[in-house]
Amino acid sequence: MFVSSRVRVIGPLAEHSDGFRAKLFSLGYTDESSASQMRLMADLSRWLACEHVNIAMLQPDAIERFFESRRRRGFASKLSPQALRPLVKYLAALGVIEVCVDAPPESSTERLLGRYREHLLDELGLSEGTIRLYVTGAASFIKSCGLLVDIAFENLTAGDVTSFVVREAPKRSNAVAKNLVVALRSFLRFCFAEGLTNHRLDAAVPGVASWRASSLPKPLRREAIEDLLATCDRTNPVGQRDYAILLLLWRLGLRAGEVAALSLDDVDWRNGEIVVHGKGGRDERVPLPVDVGEALADYLRPVRPSQQSRRLFLRVHAPIEALTSGAIRWTVRAACNRAGVPEVGTHRFRHAVAGELLCEGAPLSEIAQLLRHHSIDTTAIYAKVDRSSLEFVARPWPGESR
Q: Which CATH number goes with the domain that contains 182?
A: 1.10.150.130
Residues 60 and 115 reside in one and the same domain:
no
Residues 263 and 188 reside in one and the same domain:
no
Residues 27 and 175 reside in one and the same domain:
no
R_g of the chain computed on alpha carbons: 26
Residues 195 and 226 reside in one and the same domain:
no
Catalytic hit among 119, 255, 304, 372: 255
Do the domain assignments include residue 402? Answer: no
- pLDDT recorded at residue 230: 93
Domain count, the chain: 3
- pLDDT recorded at residue 347: 82
Domain edge (last residue) among 62, 94, 126:
94
Do the domain assignments include residue 400? Answer: no
Catalytic hit among 243, 329, 382, 384: 382
For residue 172, give its domain range: 108-204
Residues 191 and 233 reside in one and the same domain:
no
Residues 289 and 318 reside in one and the same domain:
yes
Domain edge (last residue) among 154, 176, 204:
204
Catalytic hit among 39, 89, 200, 347: 347
Do the domain assignments include residue 396? Answer: no
Do the domain assignments include residue 243? Answer: yes
- pLDDT recorded at residue 3: 56
Do the domain assignments include residue 34? Answer: yes
Do the domain assignments include residue 397? Answer: no
N- to C-terminal Cα separation, the chain: 82
- 11 phi, psi to nearest 5 deg: 105, -165
Residues 376 and 233 reside in one and the same domain:
yes
Amino acid at 245: I
Active site residue 200: no
Residues 237 and 379 reside in one and the same domain:
yes
What is the strand order of the sheet 283-287 is part of? 267-268, 273-277, 283-287
Active site residue 279: yes
Active site residue 119: no
Catalytic hit among 16, 70, 185, 350: 350
Domain edge (last residue) among 174, 204, 234:
204
Residues 358-395 as b or e (16 or more Cβ within 10 Å = b): beeeeebeebbebbbbeeeeebbebebbbeeeeeeeee
Amino acid at 124: L
Q: Which of 390, 367, 391 is nearest to 377 (CA)?
A: 367
Residues 112 and 181 reside in one and the same domain:
yes
| Residues forming beta bridges with residue 276, ordered by sequence position | 284
- pLDDT recorded at residue 105: 46
- pLDDT recorded at residue 303: 72
Residues 80 and 133 reside in one and the same domain:
no
Four-point Cα dihedral 185, 190, 194, 199, nearest 10: 20
Do the domain assignments include residue 237? Answer: yes
The set of residues, in sequence order, having a beta carbon less than 8 Å from that of 284 and lying 6+ positions away, is 275, 276, 278, 372
Four-point Cα dihedral 392, 397, 399, 401, nearest 10: -30
| pLDDT < 70: residue spans in the chain | 1-5, 99-107, 147-152, 210-219, 280, 306-308, 360, 362-364, 375-402
Active site residue 350: yes
Active site residue 270: no
Do the domain assignments include residue 84? Answer: yes
C-alpha 307/C-alpha 311 separation (Å) is: 9
Distances (CA, A) of 364 to 8, 180, 268, 377: 65, 31, 27, 9
Q: Which CATH number goes with the domain that contains 347?
A: 1.10.443.10
Catalytic hit among 234, 241, 373, 384: 373
Catalytic hit among 222, 279, 317, 387: 279
Residues 256 and 346 reside in one and the same domain:
yes
Residues 290 and 343 reside in one and the same domain:
yes
Active site residue 351: no
